[in-house]
Every structure is written in structure tokens, then in C-alpha cells.
Amino acid sequence: MYIYNTMQKYKLYWVCQIGGWAFFMIIEMISYGNVFGFNQLLVLNVVVNFFLGLGLTHTYRLFLIRTNWLTLTTAKLIPRASISIICISVIMTMMNVFLDRFTVPLLRQFPVDGILIFNYLFNWSRYILMWALIYHLFQYWERSLQAEKDRLQLQATLKDNQYQNLRTQLNPHFLFNSLNSIRTLIDFNPNLSKEAITRLSSLLRSSLQMNNKKTIPLKNELETLEDYLAIEKIRFDDRLLITYDIEQSTTQLEVPPMMLQTLVENSVKHGISNLKNGGFVEIKTFKKNNQLCIEITNSGQFLPKDKNEGLGIKNTEERLQLLYDGKASFNICNINIDTVLTQIKIPNDKDTHY
């Protein structure tokens, strides 16, 4: 791709270079022809100046590249470019003072003095200056585009690294809590603990499969959640009531992996586990205003200032921010003295996350 772009730019350069100098020379030929008349020698004059201008400006371009002048700041480049433009204009002037007298006989009657040379120098400086301005402005524009591209790539890389850091925080946290849940089962019910370990194996398999994915279908996330809740159901038995209200049209929409499991885990650990009679967890999904809406309702009390509220909430907020650039929303609140509501809204647009 890089080689292709370089070749395309090189072809564009030569098209502009040849076309530009051809345009300049046609203007010169028309100007001279209207004043001194058209003849074959005037065509020779134009052809010589065409190749001379082409060669000198291309040499200047090669010099710019080899000396890395294009990487200089504007303050440093302007004086260097100005001297170069003057040098090229002087060469063009000296060549044309003699070339014009050879190809345009009527000019021989005018003496070669300072005024004549100044007029020649002024005339050719316009063309060389115009060429230099176009070339340098194009280079500046191209460098600006590349700098913006590099900035966006760096920003995306930083976001990806930050997101992966959040993932590495999440998985050990989840595994630690699950193992603690299973440990309570081993002594009094080995069979249930075996079933819990089977569920945990399924969870870990899903986690590994999702490791490099930023989003997955909601259907897959719900399967992971069911495995997790099956483990907790074994531990809590009748003290944990689980209900689902899933709108079928939402099952193929994309969500961050392990997000629901993290939030429900937080609900169980910091809400239901602290209640003597246990409680309930309800997971509801639906579409509204081209958004995927997820609501998790559970028994308990949300204490915003409680340092023990868990890593899950902060982790979820940061992941949603990174993935959707502020277009997703997350809110958790108490709807009464013993019920907590968690709401998530994710834009139903595949182009919104990076």
C-alpha cells in the first residue's frame, strides 16, 4: 500500500510539473507572439525554457528531499527557499537574455542593462515563486494529513491498550470471586461443587474466546451470565431468584464482553449476599430510539460512597467510555429502600465504537 501511494504521488508530481510548465510557456509564447510575431525560433525558445524550467525546479525538489529541508519549521524554511528561488530565477534570466536575442531578432535593438535584467528577473521570479508556493503548500498539506493520521493511530493504540488493561483487571477479579463461591460448597455438597466447577470451566472458556474481542452478540453474553448465575444459584439455593425479560430483537446486538456478568456479580456480592433472606436479580433488555437498553434490577442498597462497591462499576463505566466515545450511558441508583436499578444504553450503530 505504501509503495502504491508513493508511485501515485510521483505520477501526480510529474503530471503537475509537466502540465504547469507547459501552461507557463504557452502564456510566454502568446505574450511574445502578440508583440514580436510568431515564428519557428519562438517555438524553439519556448521548448528550451520548458525543459530548463522543468530541470531546474526538479533539481530543487531533489535538493529539498536530500537536505531534509521539508522537515524544517516555516521560519527556517522561508529564507532558504527564498535564496533558492532567487538563484533559479537568476539562471533563467541569464539564459533568456541571450536566448531571446537569438530567437527574437527585434529584441537585439534593446541594450542589455540593469533595467532589462531586472525585468527579466522579475518575470521569471513570478513563475518560480508560484511553482515553489504550490509545491511547498502541497507538502505542508500532506504532512498535516500524515500528522493527523499518526495522531489518530496513536490515540486508537492508547485506547486499545487502556481497554486491554481494564480486561486484565476484570478477569482475575471475576475468577477470584467465583472460586470463593465454589469453596463454600466443597465441604457440605461435593456434587454441587462439581457442577459449579463445570460451570466455571465453561465461563473461563468463554472468557478466553472473547479475549481479543471488543464486542460480542448479546446472546453470547447472556450465555456467559447464565453460567455465572448457575454457580451463584447453587450457593444461594432458594435465597436467589433469577428472572429474564429479553426482547428477541436485542439478542444479536453487540455489547462489551463480560459486562453483564460483571454487573450482576457486583449485585450479588454487594447486595444479595448481605441480605439474610437473599433476594432477586432481574435482567431486562429492549430497544428504544435506536439504542440497546439493558436494565438490571436487584435486591439491596447502592451506596455511592462505599469503597467496597467493587471494581465492576468503575470498570464498566470506563469500558463504555472507551468503546463508544461518550455515546453510551451508564447509571445505577436506588429505586426504593431495598431495590437497586442499573441502566445501560448502548447505541445500535456498529460505527460508533472504535
Residue 287 lies in a domain: yes
204 & 113 share domain: no
Q: What is the mean pLDDT of residues 76-88?
A: 90
Q: For residue 318, is it within any domain? A: yes
What pLDDT does 306 receive? 56
For residues 274-300, give the mean pLDDT. Answer: 92
- Does some domain include residue 182? no
Section 95-110 average pLDDT: 79
Ranges 22-36, 100-114, 124-138, 256-270: which has the least confidence: 100-114
Q: Do 210 and 119 share a domain, yes or no? A: no
Q: Which residue has the higher pLDDT, 39 or 140?
A: 140
Cβ(313)–Cβ(273) below 8 Å: no
Determine the pLDDT at residue 177. Answer: 65
pLDDT at 251 over 60: yes
Angle 321-323-329 (CA atoms, 0-180°, nearest 5)?
45
* 342 pLDDT tier (thresholds 50, 70, 90): very high
Q: What is the mean pLDDT of residues 305-333?
A: 77
| 144 and 196 together in one domain | no
Of 98-107, 119-128, 319-328, minimum mean pLDDT range: 98-107
Mean pLDDT of 134-155: 79
Residue at 299 is within a domain: yes
Q: In terms of domains, do 207 and 277 share one?
A: yes
How would you label 95-127 residue by residue, b for 16+ Cβ within 10 Å and e otherwise?
A: bbeebbeebbeebeeeeeeeeeeeebbeebbeb
**Domain C-terminal end among 121, 151, 181:** 151
Owning domain of residue 60: 2-151
Top mean-pLDDT range of 12-16, 41-45, 114-118, 157-161:
12-16
pLDDT score of 172: 63
- The answer to the question of residue 181 being in a domain is no
**183, part of any domain:** no
Asked if residue 350 has pLDDT above 60, the reply is no
Task: Kindly state whether residue 179 falls inside one of the protein's structural domains.
Answer: no
Domain check: are 228 and 302 in the same one?
yes
Together in a domain, 235 and 127: no
pLDDT of residue 171: 54
Total tally of structural domains belonging to the chain = 2
Residue range 125-154: mean pLDDT, rounded? 82
Question: pTM (2 decimals)?
Answer: 0.53
What is 20-69 written as a DSSP string?
HHHHHHHHHHHHHHHHH---HHHHHHHHHHHHHHHHHHHHHHHHHHHTTG
Same domain, 260 and 311: yes
Residue ending a domain, among 151, 178, 207, is 151
Q: Are residues 195 and 340 in the same domain?
A: yes
Asked if 200 and 125 sit in the same domain, the reply is: no
Between CA 83 and CA 99 the distance in angstroms is 24
Do 130 and 194 have their domain in common?
Answer: no
pLDDT confidence of residue 353 = 46
* Domain identity same for 6 and 146: yes
Does the pLDDT of residue 329 top 60, yes or no?
yes
Report pLDDT for 218: 94
Q: What is the pLDDT of residue 297?
A: 95
pLDDT mean over 209-229? 84
Per-residue model confidence (pLDDT) at position 38: 74
* CATH number for the domain that contains residue 222: 3.30.565.10
Same domain? 118 vs 194? no
Mean local confidence (pLDDT), 278-296: 93
Asked whether residue 252 is domain-assigned, the answer is yes
